[in-house]
Homo-oligomer: A and B are copies of this chain.
Amino acid sequence: MTGTGLRELKKQRTRDALLRAALELFTTQGYEHTTVDEIADAVEVSQRTFFRYFANKEEVVFAVQDMVESHFVDALRRRPPEEGPFEAMRHAVRSAWDTIGEAIGQVVPVELHMRAYQMIESTPSLIAVHLRRSAELDEQVARLIADREGLDVDTDPRPRVAVAAFAAVMRVTGRLWGQGEDASVEAIRELTEDYLDHLEPALATDWRSPAARPARGRTDRTRPDAADTPEREAGAHTE
């Protein structure tokens, strides 16, 4: 597939140029206010050529995302088998963020990609596509996890369910991060860690006891909805 030298090089260049131009335009003018013609003009190719590199306008937005995702999947594959599912996913996420530059730096500056990510989170039509893609990734990850644990994904619902729950947390944080000020990698990394800490406790039924690791007690509401809830280690971040 990777044909001969010069031709291939030019193609690569055109593709990268289109990609960068598109992201630059999208992040400055907004996705919907940027036409494909503009992008093509910026790189001095015809609109038709744009569509030969990218199946549609959305695809160019998620091209980099693709790289990041397979970077994450690779990291997950490398986790030692002793780690439990959550542990493994969590470490994989962390390690993926830590080395994101290696994955995409050649094609696009990390900072531009971060801006692009924020743009996705604030553009309804892109959010939709983003969510569908995430769902597809979930499926892939579920199979991976099932393999690790020696389970059959078609028989045992637990891998899918666990991944779905994990991914849901990731999406919540992604959204919050997108709305926040700090567009840095560190910001989203920390937010993620924070929220993951809350996954299990949130699934307990008894939310009436003090925050944090809930004491497995009663479901008894003698306490008048005290607004004096100490902001303990709950979630004092955004806002």
Residues of A within 8 A of B (CB): 82, 84-87, 124, 127-129, 131-132, 135, 149-152, 154-162, 164-165, 167-169, 171-172, 194-195, 198-208, 211-212, 216, 219, 225, 229, 231, 234-239
Contacts and interface: CB of A to CB of B under 8 A. Distances in A.
Contact of A131 (B132, B156, B164, B198): B132
B132 A124 contact: yes
14 contacts: A82-B219, A84-B207, A127-B132, A127-B135, A128-B129, A128-B131, A128-B132, A154-B238, A154-B239, A155-B234, A156-B211, A158-B198, A162-B203, A165-B165
Nearest to A237: B205
Most buried by B among A128, A195, A206: A128
Given A124-B132, A135-B127, A158 B202 contact: yes
B212 A158 contact: yes
Nearest to A206: B84
B129 A161 contact: no
A138 to B, nearest CB: 8
Nearest to A58: B128
A154 B238 CA distance: 8
Given A152-B229, A159-B202, A160-B172, 15 more contacts: A84-B206, A84-B219, A135-B171, A150-B225, A151-B207, A151-B229, A155-B231, A156-B211, A157-B195, A157-B235, A164-B165, A164-B172, A165-B199, A168-B168, A203-B203
Given A151-B207, A203-B203, A219-B84, A164 B156 contact: no
A231 B61 CA distance: 43
Contacts of A87: 205
Contact of A234 (B131, B157, B208): B157
A83 to B, nearest CB: 9
A141 to B, nearest CB: 13
